[in-house]
Structure 1
């Protein structure tokens, strides 16, 4: 062997050994059970705990570690899974976690092991990815430390802040009223509180003249929040696991599932404490109960003996907050704009009703409806048919992508609400959006929706911002690009959990042929399917003799007859209710309002009761009259 070749081999060997020496296996054993908690001090309720505790444990690993999470579902009445939000799961699609997409739901009493290598860095979180699961508390931070980040030497300490909305009732109690004929407009359930690190009134001790890395994660089910610290600015250095060129900011808008890492340098003085202010985005709420605190104050504690004053602002001030615009962030690696797409997906968000009168969410005319077989298992059991999107069903909205395609998603919004969309298995370049944040974010509400026009748009950035969750503005649009370099079945969906339950999602079946070649599903996964009573082979209908036979597939409700609107459904529902109330009133009045009783001289009188403001007035009418 030539000397230069030996030198190269020696260097490579040293580097590999260094990697093997530093990487480690991190194991968590999770026994998932019900516990009780009262995080806002207003109502104790059941929550999903781990190992008898809530809040849940923060998962922490170093970049390059192997993570193993042994989950036992000790919930007696609820299925469970874990999605490690933001993990690419390159080569381990079966560990991604969404029920009926990459795995079967884990039924009560069953075990499931998640095992993958973390070749990423940054700020993530984990949560249950089964219907109506994580609003009950099954969510927490997941941090990947990286000693090679460009800002590693700039900070002395770090801490993590989670923001969340909170409901006093279990999801299973809220859901029937949400997806109901009595809620045809699809009005989302209003939270009862907004939490900061799963509690309220938190004090974070800091030292003067010290730089901290602060990781911010919105682990809510519904509501975005604004974030700022009185008297301070900070430098953004990461979004959704992607390092950015440092950008000075004073206010952030953090939608559900989004993450930021910022560097904050404290003041020299310790004469006062400073309010950390979080403000719920009231534009997302159909109603605001009088006892709901949209604005909450927590504190940077410089001096434990100084005052901890509440931030001064009103409920309506959120409309005047102008956050940093994340589309302007430049990735630290300056990855250039991906070339023109090989595959474009152009879909529009709609909210509407189907024949049962419920409010559903749609991408074009499809409301995502889970198949009878997890789609990954359909890929692996379908042989040459895997590249045919028909086998994945008419209502999973599956799009088959070729390996290494540049994919562009144009997402238009026909709805007046905003929607934070998340793509599993990837981050993506954000290349266009309208309208922008701040005062113009809701401007489009004054007119008709404005779809993306490929012939009339602002110039795409040369090195676009990248993240895995991005907000679709009301009645506007966004355009994103990614490379289909990660064979797998990946969910693209709105991360407002209520909207996902309404069907606001679709599937990317990426490089199915390569996926078949690379996937090795553990036997335990098939055992879980058997325990859950879910088939693990076949098309979306569970048919495996003929993959094009979709007889028996899960279907969305039929459409409403022409001319019906949400307002019409409401009118119809309440007309029917009024009719029942009227009939009941007639019966009640007929049985109890007309009474006969003996009067003087045995003359029978008729007594008529007339009600005014619930107060009876009684008239005695002699029989002779």
Structure 2
């Protein structure tokens, strides 16, 4: 059994760095075979023949160089989630946004300096690849952290949903298909803690641990609690907060919480800790126990009891956390209002939208369009019809208002920044209506809004976020439910494009990856170099459904088509089968009913093949006989 934790030995202050250092890794990304839930062995994406993936760890101000060699049979990329990449936006990682995909067999170098501390993670940002295993923790230490002297040892716990099929296969065959017109997300096959199950965390008595909690899953938010042990939150998404004691947290995909947990003096008993799926996010209940249990282990030879039954979810509401560095809500210079919707297009597939636009990747990465377009880079038109791009001025405060016209929870993540969570509604009381933000009648706010990079909007509710445009680059704002990103729930922020052209440069090996994969790397979204406003040939979303055609109508249409295909298949089988065999099977099928009819003198005998028309109308004839 894998141990609960990667221990970082020693005292509360782990590293006293005199100067910044170089942290360099050579990572070969390739397929491996693993069975983390002990239910099903499958292919996962590992690094250097290792999975779970290696912990990436450094100190604030260190320089990180990751030399990637792609040994997969498909493209890939890496995104360092929560890292601002200030001055190195070209290293952010999302394909077609800041780079071309790294083709199979190619090399790519990520090179950046970290000027922030806390709990982060890295993962693929190529299609829906990271749920196949390409995700790991990234921890940045700081000897000046405000709670540095308050703990003895450091630990981590990751939680995730887990699928037995690859996400690419699920997306193509189960999710984005005509047979799934409601857009129901695939149900996970299991849950994992630190990429395993039945986890045992060996602890010392009377010891305070700093525990980093990270949801690295694809879909499901989770509740986390430690029986008979309270926790104190001290950091969220890399932002230090005023200590907040709680018994349970609710963590969406991509969020991070750092907590202090002090162990007991009595070592005679072991205690369950539980990570539990939010079932409200699933269309049907899973076939496994969603309350995944591990144990705080004081005595390895002792009992490992079952978890207690929870009657209600009494968890921390992160809206009420207060940043350690307190700031009043920033006054916005510019506001972007978007409405979330999940709608079918005329191909019958369910897509996700901001303001009736579902994100479709351009032919040229948007950052490369910025770098090759001169003064035209300030015009959002050149970035494409379906990239949902907003061009932002330098050193402003931008407000994003998200009105959620969908009965689902959506955890939104902003690249390159943290934002203030200025206002947030509760969920609407009715799925048929939703609460829309009204600036003239603001809802409840905090004096010092919490800051983080991932927060979820309530079903049919809204939220108001604000951030400062002090980081020139091209940044995604998207739902971090990986299925919803696949559906197109993303927009692009081109922040200070003229400043980007002055301060950024694209390394030659990045262009080499584009050439190796046959990807365009200059011009507008359609790859047009001569006329940047000519978008001929760009990728766009399918056409809208005909007016008045609802999702319910699509569902009815789909299942009518399925029924028709099944019926035609039956007719084909019936018409082509051996006639005597078919007659015998029909007699056997109706024999019991005919016997009952004989008792009432109403028998309709099937004597020979002349009594049944074996033609295109054969199905009707059998129905009438029955």
Common topology (TM > 0.5): yes
Tell whether the 8 Å contact from 2:248 to 2:316 is kept in structure 1 after alignment.
yes
Q: CA deviation at 1:594?
A: 4.8
Q: 1:368 & 1:596 partners in 2: Cα distance?
A: 55
Matched with 1:328 is: 320
Tell whether the 8 Å contact from 1:607 to 1:619 is kept in structure 2 after alignment.
no
Q: Confirm whether residue 420 of structure 1 aligns to residue 420 of structure 2.
A: no
Residue 586 of structure 2, aligned match among 580, 601, 609: 609
Matched with 2:435 is: 450
Q: CA deviation at 1:271?
A: 1.5
Matched with 1:573 is: 558
Tell whether the 8 Å contact from 1:445 to 1:474 is kept in structure 2 after alignment.
no
- TM-score, structure 2 normalization: 0.91
Q: 2:446 & 2:569 partners in 1: Cα distance?
A: 65
Q: CA deviation at 1:234?
A: 1.2
- Which residues in structure 2 correspond to 1:120-269 (within 5 Å)? 120-176=116-172, 177-269=174-266
Q: 1:596 & 1:42 partners in 2: Cα distance?
A: 42
Q: CA deviation at 1:614?
A: 11
Tell whether the 8 Å contact from 2:222 to 2:278 is kept in structure 1 after alignment.
yes
Q: Confirm whether residue 620 of structure 1 aligns to residue 597 of structure 2.
A: no
Residue 59 of structure 1, aligned match among 56, 61, 79: 56
Matched with 1:301 is: 297
Matched with 2:349 is: 358
Q: 1:303 & 1:622 partners in 2: Cα distance?
A: 77
The size of the alignment, in residue pairs, is 587
Q: 2:565 & 2:209 partners in 1: Cα distance?
A: 63
1:385-441 deviation line (CA, Å, top 9, x unaligned): 000010001100000000011100000100000000000000000011010xxxxx5
Q: 1:193 & 1:278 partners in 2: Cα distance?
A: 12
Tell whether the 8 Å contact from 1:484 to 1:510 is kept in structure 2 after alignment.
yes
Residue 432 of structure 1, aligned match among 399, 415, 423: 423
Q: Confirm whether residue 542 of structure 1 aligns to residue 519 of structure 2.
A: no
1:269-309 deviation line (CA, Å, top 9, x unaligned): 112111111110000000113x3221011011111122111
Q: 2:586 & 2:573 partners in 1: Cα distance?
A: 12
Q: 1:610 & 1:90 partners in 2: Cα distance?
A: 77
Tell whether the 8 Å contact from 1:26 to 1:65 is kept in structure 2 after alignment.
yes
SS in 2 for 1:528: helix
Structure 1, unpaired ranges of 5+: 1-18, 436-440, 598-605
Q: 1:622 & 1:187 partners in 2: Cα distance?
A: 46
Q: Confirm whether residue 551 of structure 1 aligns to residue 542 of structure 2.
A: no
Tell whether the 8 Å contact from 2:422 to 2:465 is kept in structure 1 after alignment.
yes
SS in 2 for 1:531: helix
Tell whether the 8 Å contact from 1:607 to 1:620 is kept in structure 2 after alignment.
no
- Which residues in structure 2 correspond to 1:42-121 (within 5 Å)? 42-75=39-72, 77-121=73-117
Q: 2:374 & 2:341 partners in 1: Cα distance?
A: 35
SS in 2 for 1:609: helix
Q: 1:529 & 1:624 partners in 2: Cα distance?
A: 69
1:343-387 deviation line (CA, Å, top 9, x unaligned): 100001000111110010000100001000000000000001000
SS in 1 for 2:119: strand
Tell whether the 8 Å contact from 1:350 to 1:415 is kept in structure 2 after alignment.
yes
Q: 1:417 & 1:95 partners in 2: Cα distance?
A: 32
Matched with 1:14 is: none
Tell whether the 8 Å contact from 1:444 to 1:450 is kept in structure 2 after alignment.
no
Tell whether the 8 Å contact from 1:299 to 1:308 is kept in structure 2 after alignment.
yes
Q: CA deviation at 1:577?
A: 2.3
Q: 2:419 & 2:589 partners in 1: Cα distance?
A: 64
Q: CA deviation at 1:457?
A: 2.2
Q: 1:298 & 1:93 partners in 2: Cα distance?
A: 39
Q: CA deviation at 1:460?
A: 3.1
Matched with 2:602 is: none
**1:596/1:144 CA distance change after superposition, 3 Å:** closer
Q: 2:223 & 2:351 partners in 1: Cα distance?
A: 28
- TM-score, structure 1 normalization: 0.91
Which range is displaced more, 447-456 or 386-395? 447-456
**1:388/1:154 CA distance change after superposition, 3 Å:** same
Q: 2:259 & 2:292 partners in 1: Cα distance?
A: 20
SS in 2 for 1:620: coil
- Which residues in structure 2 correspond to 1:426-505 (within 5 Å)? 426-435=417-426, 441=427, 444-505=429-490
Which range is displaced more, 264-273 or 109-118? 264-273
SS in 1 for 2:170: helix
- Which residues in structure 2 correspond to 1:591-602 (within 5 Å)? 591-592=576-577, 594-595=579-580
Q: Confirm whether residue 403 of structure 1 aligns to residue 390 of structure 2.
A: no
Q: CA deviation at 1:596?
A: 10
Matched with 2:510 is: 525
Q: 2:301 & 2:610 partners in 1: Cα distance?
A: 84
Q: CA deviation at 1:521?
A: 1.1
SS in 2 for 1:575: helix
**1:506/1:550 CA distance change after superposition, 3 Å:** same
Q: 1:54 & 1:415 partners in 2: Cα distance?
A: 36
Q: 2:610 & 2:179 partners in 1: Cα distance?
A: 47
RMSD, matched Cα: 2.2
**1:87/1:594 CA distance change after superposition, 3 Å:** same
